[in-house]
Amino acid sequence: MLKLAVGHSNDPDSLAAITEVLAQLRSQLSGQLPNAGLLFAAIDFEYAQILQKIDEAFPGIELIGGTTEGEMSSELGFEQDSLTLMVFCSKTITISAGIGRNVAQDAVAAATSAVRQAQAHHADNIQFCLTFPESLTISNEIILESLESALGKKIPVFGGLTAGQHPSKQTYQFCKTEVCRNSVPILLFSGPIQFSHGVANGWHPIGKAGQVTKATHNVVYEIDNRPALSFYHHYLGALPPTSEYPLALLDAESERHYMRAPSGIYDETIGSITFFGSVPEGAVVQITEASHDDILAASSQSVQQAIDSYPGKSPDAALFFSCVGRRQLLGSRTKEEHALAQQQLGETLPSCGFYTNGEISPLQDEGSPRIHNETFVTLLIGEA
Amino acid sequence: MLSNAAMSSQLEVQQLEKQNRVLHKKLERAEVTNLELEATTQKKETLLRQVILELRDSQATLESQSRELEQTCLDLQQAQIQLVQAEKMSSLGQLVAGVAHEINNPVNFIHGNIRHLETYLQDLLEFLALYESHYPQPVDEIRQAAEDLEIAYIKDDLTKILPSMSMGTERIRDIVLSLRNFSRMDEAECKAVNIHDGIESTLLILQHRLKSQSERPTIEVVREFAAMPPVECFAGQLNQVFMNIISNAIDALETSLKKNPKVQKAPKIVLRTEAYADNIVISITDNGMGMPAAVKDRIFDPFFTTKPVGKGTGMGMAISYQLVVEKHSGKIVCHSEEGIGTGFVITLPIRLKP
Q: What ipTM was reported for this prediction? A: 0.77
Q: What is residue A121's predicted lDDT score, i.e. its pLDDT? A: 87
* For A79, nearest residue in chain B (alpha carbons): B26
3-state helix, strand, coil in chain A (%, to 5): 25, 35, 35
Compute the distance between CA of residue A137 and CA of residue A134 in angstroms, rounded to an integer.
7
CB B342 within 8 A of CB B285: yes
Q: Return residues 151-210 of A near B (CB < 8 Å).
A: 165-166, 206-208
Q: What is residue B282's predicted lDDT score, i.e. its pLDDT? A: 96
Mutate one of B14, B16, B18, B45 to test the A interface: name it (highest A CB count within 10 A): B18
Bridge partners (DSSP) of residue A62 are A36
* CB contact set of B109 (below 8 Å; sequence gap of 6+): none
* For B40, nearest residue in chain A (alpha carbons): A329
Compute the distance between CA of residue B298 and CA of residue A372 in angstroms, rounded to an integer.
62
CB A358 within 8 A of CB A283: no
User: In this structure, what DSSP letter does residue A332 have?
Assistant: G
Contacts with A328 from chain B: Cβ below 8 Å: 36-37, 40
C-alpha radius of gyration, chain B, whole number:
43
Residue A14 has pLDDT above 60, yes or no: yes
Contacts with B28 from chain A: Cβ below 8 Å: 81
Bridge-based pairing of strands A247-250 and A369-372 is unpaired
Q: What is residue B311's predicted lDDT score, i.e. its pLDDT? A: 64
Contacts with B40 from chain A: Cβ below 8 Å: 242, 244, 328-329, 331
| Rounded percentage of chain A residues whose pLDDT exceeds 90 | 73
The answer to whether B37 faces chain A, any CB pair under 8 Å, is: yes
Closest CA to A380 of A132, A192, A193: A193
Write the DSSP string, B240-301: HHHHHHHHHHHHHHHHHHHH-TTS----EEEEEEEE-SSEEEEEEEE-S----HHHHTTTTS
Q: What is residue B260's predicted lDDT score, i.e. its pLDDT? A: 79
Half-sphere exposure of A296 toward its Cβ, with a 13 Å CA cutoff?
A: 17
* For A13, nearest residue in chain B (alpha carbons): B21
Q: What is residue A252's predicted lDDT score, i.e. its pLDDT? A: 67
Contacts with A11 from chain B: Cβ below 8 Å: 18, 21-22
What does the pLDDT profile of chain B (354 residues) look like in tens digits? 568 888 899 989 989 999 999 999 999 888 888 888 888 888 888 888 888 898 999 999 999 999 999 999 988 888 887 777 667 766 776 777 788 888 888 888 888 898 899 899 889 989 989 998 999 888 999 989 989 999 889 888 888 888 888 888 887 887 777 677 666 544 567 889 999 998 998 898 888 889 888 888 899 999 999 999 999 998 888 888 998 899 999 999 988 888 877 777 889 999 999 999 999 999 999 999 899 988 888 888 877 778 776 566 667 787 788 889 888 999 999 999 988 999 999 999 999 876
Closest CA to A216 of A156, A275, A304, A175: A275
Backbone angles phi, psi at A142, to 5 degrees: -65, -40
Compute the distance between CA of residue A377 and CA of residue B295 in angstroms, rounded to an integer.
68
* CB contact set of A2 (below 8 Å; sequence gap of 6+): A88, A89, A90, A92, A93, A193, A316, A382, A383
Bridge-based pairing of strands A247-250 and A210-216 is unpaired
Compute the distance between CA of residue B185 and CA of residue A303 in angstroms, rounded to an integer.
85
CB B302 within 8 A of CB B313: no
Report H helices in chain A: 14-29, 47-57, 107-119, 140-151, 228-236, 292-309, 324-330, 334-345
Contact A11 B18 (CB under 8 A): yes
Contacts with A331 from chain B: Cβ below 8 Å: 33, 36-37, 40
Distance from CA of A24 to the nearest CA of B (A): 16
- Cα dist from B254 to B123, B261, B341, whole Å: 52, 10, 12
Q: Return residues 51-70 of B near A (CB < 8 Å).
A: 51, 54
* For A241, nearest residue in chain B (alpha carbons): B43
Mutate one of A21, A206, A236 to test the B interface: name it (highest B CB count within 10 A): A236
CB B231 within 8 A of CB B281: no
The answer to whether A224 faces chain B, any CB pair under 8 Å, is: no
Compute the distance between CA of residue A196 and CA of residue A210 in angstroms, rounded to an integer.
36
Contacts with B37 from chain A: Cβ below 8 Å: 328, 331
Contact B40 A329 (CB under 8 A): yes
For chains A and B, count residue pairs whose Cβ atoms are closer than 8 Å.
65
Compute the distance between CA of residue B79 and CA of residue B170 in angstroms, rounded to an integer.
41
Nearest to B21 among A13, A287, A328 (CB): A13
Strand spans (E) along A168-315: 173-175, 178-180, 184-190, 193-200, 204-205, 210-216, 219-223, 226-227, 247-250, 257-260, 262-267, 272-275, 284-289
Q: To 10 degrees, the CA torsion angle through B287, B292, B294, B297?
A: 20
